[in-house]
Chains A and B, each alone.
Chain A
Amino acid sequence: MTFYLSGFRSFPKLWKSNLYFELGPATSSASFFLTVHCVIGNQQRWFSVKPTAPPNSKTLNLLVTKARTHKKGNDNNMKVSSGPHYFAAGAAKKRSHISGHPQNQGHALPVRSTVQLPTKPLNSEEWEKLKEDFKGKASFEDFVISQMAGNSSSIDVAKSLLAWVAAKNNGIVGYNLLVKYLYLCVFHKQTSEVIDVYEIMKAKYKTLESGGYTLLIRGLIHSDRWREALLLLEDIKKNMVPSKKNYGDCIQGALLHQDVNMAWSLYQELLGCNLIPPLETLKAFFDYGKDINDDHYSNQLLDILLYLRNNQLYPGESFAHSIKTWFESIPGRQWKGQFTTIQKSGQCSGCGRTIESIHLSPEEYEFLKEKIMRDVIDGGDQYKKTTPQELKRFESFVNTCPPFDIVIDGLNVAKMFPKGRESQNLLAIVSQLAQQNLQLLVLGRKHMLRPSFQWRKDEMEQVRKQAHCFFADNISEDDPFLLYATLNSGNHCKFITKDLLRDHKACLPDARTKRLFFKWQQGHQLAIMKGFQKSKLTFQHILSYDTVVQTTGDSWHIPYDEDLVQRASCEVPTKWLCLQRKTQAPAPC
C-alpha cells in the first residue's frame, strides 16, 4: 500500500523536487479519489498520527545529504577517462548527481485510509458498518472499490461489495463500479468473470467508453471469444483512434489463437494510424515466430527490425532475448547471438565487425545543413534570433575564412570554470587547441570585447590572434551560428560546447530531421571534461559509430536498453546484441 505522490503544493519543500506520481496499474479514476482523499486529510494530524510517517525533516535531510555524498564519492572513484561517452545511457543522470541534484529518490508516502480494506468478503451488515465509519467527499462505494483496484484486492471481496450495492439499489450496479470491478477481474486474469461482466455491459449499455472497452479487450483476448475483442476495437474506432495498447492487446490475442494474418493486418493498421507499436507487441511477434517456420513470416519480422532501425527505437532487454532466440531457432541458418559491447574504435567485441559510421551521407548532410539554416537560424522570422544584417555579415565572414577544424562556443566554454576569469578560461582552451595547428573559430557576443572584470582586453586580443572570431549582437543567439559554421566547414569540423542543444533540435520540423541532427551532434560535438583548467584539455570521446539497429545481411547488430538503466531521450544504449551466421548460406533478404 505505497503510493508515490507529487504535485501537492502544501507538502514541505523537501518532498517537492523528487517525488513522482506512479500509480502502477490503478485506473485514472482511482488516482482521482486518492487525491480527493488526501486533500481532505488534515496535514498536521496526518504527519503525527501515522505510525509509518516519514521521519522528521531533519533526519531526512541528513539522509539525503548522506546519499548524495555517497554517490559523489562513487563517481569520484571512477576514472573519468574511461567513463561513458556524453550520450551514453544513464550519463545525464550521473551528471545530475555530480552537480548535486539528486533525482529519483522516491519517497514512499503511505496514504492514510480511513477505511480498513477488508480482506475477505463481507455481508451487508458489515458493509453498512464500514460505511458508517467512512468520512469523505466521494461516495463510499466508489472510494472503496477504487482503493481495492489500487491494492488489487481479491475479486471475491469486490464481488461482495457489488452484491451489497445491488441489494441496496434493487439490482442495479453503477457503471463506474462495474468498470473497476472489471479492472480487478482483468488484473487477476479471471476470464470467466470478465465474460460475465461483458455480458452484463452488453445487455445494459449500448455503447461503452474507451476505458471500459480497453479493459474488456484486455480481458477477452485470453478467452475463446477473443474475436469479439476485435468488434470492440471497431466500436472504439467510431469515436476515436484506438490507443496503441488496444491494438497491442488485439494483436497478442490473435497470436495467442494462431491467427497470424489477423495479427499482421492489425499491425499494419496500427502503423497506418501513425502510432508507435508497443515493444511488447513486437516482442510477441518474435516470441510467436519461434514455433513457426515460414519465410513470409520471418521476412515480416525482419521488417520489424528495419522499422526499429528507421525510427531509432531500441528493444528492451527481454525483447533482445526474444530476438536472439528467434534468430537461433531458424533452422538451417545457424545464427549465433551474443550480448556484447562495442569498442571505442567502433568494432563489435563479439565478432570484430565494424559498426556503421556515425557520419551522415552527403545527401543527408546537405539536407541537414539546409534545414538548420532555414528552421533554426531563420525560422520564418530572421529577427527572432538575429537580424538580417548580422546574418549577412556572418555569411560573408564564414565564406571568406578557410574551413574550420573546430568551432568554439566562447561563452559556454568561458563559463565552464567559475573559479577562473572568463576570458582566461577561453584563452587557455584556445591556445591549447591552437598549438595543435587547428583552424579555430570562436563565436561570442559583442559584450565580450568590452573590457570588464571578467573579460580582460589583452587576453581577448590574444584569442583573436590565435583564432578567427565572430561576435554576434548581445541580444542575438550564438548557438545557431555555431551549428551553421560547423556544418558549413564540412564533415571533419567539430564544435565545442557543453550545451545539449535540445532547444535547437526542437526547432526542427519533423522527427526524421531531428534524428539526423542528433546523429550529427553525436559525431561532431566535443564536450570538455570537468576539472580541466590546470591539467591538459580532455574531451569526452566522440562516438565513431552509430547506435542503431543494423545489418550486413549475414550479421545483425542490435543495441538494446538494459532493464535497470534509465536512459534519457538524448542518450543511446551501450549494450548490443550481436548476431552472426556461422555457415555461408544464401542471405535471407
Chain B
Amino acid sequence: MNVTIRFLRPFARCLVPYTFHRKRSNLYSGVLQRCMSSKIPSLSCHNKDSTSPPEQLELDGWKATMKSSIQEDGVSEVSDKDEDSLTATRELIEMWRLLGKEVPEHITEEELKTLMECASKSAKKKYLRYLYGKEKMKKAKQIKKEMKAEAREEAKRARLLETTTGEQQDFMFLRLWDRQANIALGWKGIQAMQFGQPLVFDMAYDNYMKPSELQNTVSQLLESEGWNRRNVDPFHIYFCNLKIDSAYHRELVKRYREKWDKLLLTATEKSPVDLFPKDSIIYLTADSPNVMTTFKHDKVYIIGSFVDKATQTGMSLAKAKRLNLATECLPLDKYLQWEVGNKNLTLDQMIRILLCLKNTGNWEEALKFVPRRKHTGYLEVSEHSQEAFRKLKKTKTLSSFQKGSLNARKWKR
C-alpha cells in the first residue's frame, strides 16, 4: 500500500485548495484516479534475477510499467479559458516541484494571479522562488512552535509534580514589566515630542520604488521607530512628505494598525523645508561630497526613506540640490576598512548610529552598527596624524599599493 502513499503525496495538495470549484474538483479527482490506477502491480519488478550477469540485464522493463499507467481522460475538458490557464500554471508549478526546482508546494489564487501578471519568465521564476522561501520559513517556524509548545507542556507537568505545597511568598512588584516599560517609554516619547531634537524621514521617494522595495522601507521604518523609542534620549521623529492615502501611508497604517494614531511622532504632508529653517537642515546621503565630522545637536538631519535596489544613483543628492540643502555622508571610509557592499545603510542602522552619536559622540562606538560583513575592521587614526595619513594614503594608492608596507593602518581586530 505504500505505493499509493508515495504517489499520492504530490497531488495531496490538490485536496486542500482555498476555493474549491466544482470543475477543478472534478479534474483533480480524475488525476487522482489516474494515480491510483498506476499502482497496478508490475510484472517487471521481479524479473531482476540476482544471479543474472550484467549483460542480460533487462533494461527496458520499466518502460512497460510506466506506460501501463494509462491516462484516464474525459474529465479534463475545461470550458473557461481563464480557469484553464490557471490550472495550466498550477500544473507547471507542480512539474517544476517534481523536478526539484524551488517552487512553493501550495499556492493561493491571488498568488497565482500575481504570478501570471509577471512580465517575463525570469520574473516568474523569481516570484516562485520568493514564495518557496516564504513557505519554507513558515513551515520551519511552525515546527519550532510545535516543539516549543511540547516543551512547555513538559515543563508544566514537571512543575506540577514539584510544587505541591502552595507556599506564601513575598513580592514587591506584580509582574507587569512589559506594560510598565511601555508606559515609561511613552513618557519619554512625549518628552521627546516636546523637547527632542528633530530627525526627519523624507518619504518623497515612493514613486521610485517597486512594491517590494516599499515594503522593505516600511519594515525598516518600523524598526527605526522601535530603536528610537527604546533610547535614553529619543529623537523627535518627523515623517515628512507623507501623503495621505499614498502607498506609503497605506502600508504604514496596515503595519501599525490602530497604533498608528497613537505613535509619538509627527507625520506630515509638508516638506522639511517648510517646517525648519533651511540653514539648519542637513540631508544625509551617501553620495554627498561632504563628510560628517561631528554630530551637531542644533541641526535637523534628514534621512531619505528609500530602499533602492534598482541602483538609481544620486536620487537623494539631486533632491538636496534642488532644495539647496547642505548634505553630509557618514565618514565610513575614514574609520572603517571597507570591504564589500554598498555604502548605503539601512534606515535602522542609520538611526542607531545617529542615536549613539547623539549620546556619546564616539564614532567608533557608533559605527559598530555598520554590518560586520561590509568592512574588515577599524582604522586606527590618532587625531594629530590624520592629515599626514591622508597624504600618505593618496601617494600610496597612486604608487604600487602594498598592504604590508602601510604602517599607518593597523587593524583593531
Contact = CB atoms under 8 A, between A and B. Distances in A.
Given A121-B54, A208-B95, A209-B92, A170 B48 contact: no
A175 B57 contact: no
B269 interface: no
A124 B7 contact: no
A199 B100 contact: no
Interface residues of B, number: 52
A475 B289 contact: yes
B6 A209 contact: no
Contacts of B76: 206
A163 B318 contact: no
B393 to A, nearest CB: 14
Interface stretch (A64-72, A234-242, A306-314, A320-328): A234-242
B42 A171 contact: yes
B70 A475 contact: no
A199 B48 CA distance: 24
B30 to A, nearest CB: 9
Tell me the dominant secondary structure on chain B's binding face: helix
A84 interface: no
A179 to B, nearest CB: 6
A172 B317 CA distance: 62
A208 B98 CA distance: 10
Contacts of A474: 289
A448 to B, nearest CB: 15
A14 interface: no
B85 interface: yes
A172 B46 CA distance: 14
Interface stretch (A53-61, A381-389, A400-408, A520-528): A381-389
B318 A383 contact: yes
A167 B321 CA distance: 73
A172 B66 contact: yes
Contacts of A206: 31, 71, 76, 91
A207 B41 CA distance: 25
Contacts of B259: none
B99 A166 contact: no
A176 interface: yes
B318 A381 contact: yes
Given A171-B42, A207-B92, A163 B48 contact: yes
Interface string B80-109: 000001001101100110111100000000
A159 B59 contact: yes
B297 interface: no
Interface in B296-322: 314-315, 317-319, 321-322
Contact of A123 (B57, B69, B124, B314): B57
A160 B318 CA distance: 66
A331 B154 CA distance: 92
Interface string A206-222: 11111110000000000
B98 A176 contact: yes
Interface in A245-269: none
A171 B66 contact: yes
Contacts of B44: 163, 166-167, 171
A167 B62 contact: yes
B50 A205 contact: no
B58 interface: yes
A280 interface: no
A474 B58 CA distance: 78
A241 B398 contact: no
B263 to A, nearest CB: 32
Interface in B315-367: 315, 317-319, 321-322
A173 B48 contact: no
Nearest to A168: B45
Nearest to B70: A203
A240 B322 CA distance: 44
B317 A207 contact: no
A101 B301 CA distance: 43
A582 B98 CA distance: 61
Contacts of B96: 209
B67 interface: yes
Nearest to A387: B321
B38 to A, nearest CB: 7
Contacts of B98: 174-176
Contacts of B66: 166, 171-173, 200, 203-204
Contact of A120 (B45, B54, B65, B89): B54
Contacts of A208: 95
Contacts of A163: 44, 48, 57-62
B52 interface: yes
A122 interface: yes
B314 A179 contact: no
A331 B124 CA distance: 50
Given A123-B48, A196-B63, A206-B71, A172 B100 contact: no
A552 interface: no
Nearest to A167: B45
A317 interface: no
A375 interface: no
A32 interface: yes
A292 B124 CA distance: 43
Given A125-B50, A166-B62, A171-B65, A160 B99 contact: no
B3 interface: yes
Interface in A116-131: 120-126
B289 A171 contact: no
Nearest to A240: B121
Interface string A165-204: 1110111111110010000000000000000100110111
Contact of B95 (A160, A165, A169, A175): A175
B243 interface: no
B24 interface: no
A238 B121 contact: no
Contacts of A174: 98
A202 B67 CA distance: 9
Nearest to A241: B121
A240 B321 CA distance: 45
Contacts of B375: none
Contact of B99 (A162, A175, A203, A384): A175
Nearest to B95: A209
B249 interface: no
A142 interface: yes
B409 interface: no
B315 A384 contact: yes
A121 B45 CA distance: 17
A395 B115 CA distance: 48
Given A124-B50, A167-B48, A172-B7, A207 B69 contact: no
Nearest to A175: B98
15 contacts: A120-B54, A166-B65, A167-B45, A167-B48, A170-B39, A170-B41, A171-B45, A171-B65, A172-B7, A200-B67, A203-B69, A207-B92, A238-B85, A239-B92, A384-B317
List the 10 closest A-B pairs by CB distance, nearest first: A171-B65, A166-B62, A171-B42, A209-B95, A383-B318, A175-B98, A159-B59, A384-B318, A200-B66, A383-B321
Given A384-B315, A475-B289, 14 more contacts: A29-B101, A32-B100, A123-B54, A142-B100, A159-B59, A160-B57, A164-B48, A167-B62, A172-B3, A175-B98, A176-B98, A206-B91, A207-B92, A475-B317
Interface of B: 3, 6-7, 31, 38-39, 41-42, 44-46, 48, 50, 52, 54, 57-63, 65-71, 76, 85, 88-89, 91-92, 95-96, 98-101, 121, 124, 289, 314-315, 317-319, 321-322, 398
Interface of A: 29, 32, 120-126, 142, 156, 159-160, 162-167, 169-176, 179, 196, 199-200, 202-212, 238-241, 243, 381, 383-385, 387, 418, 474-475
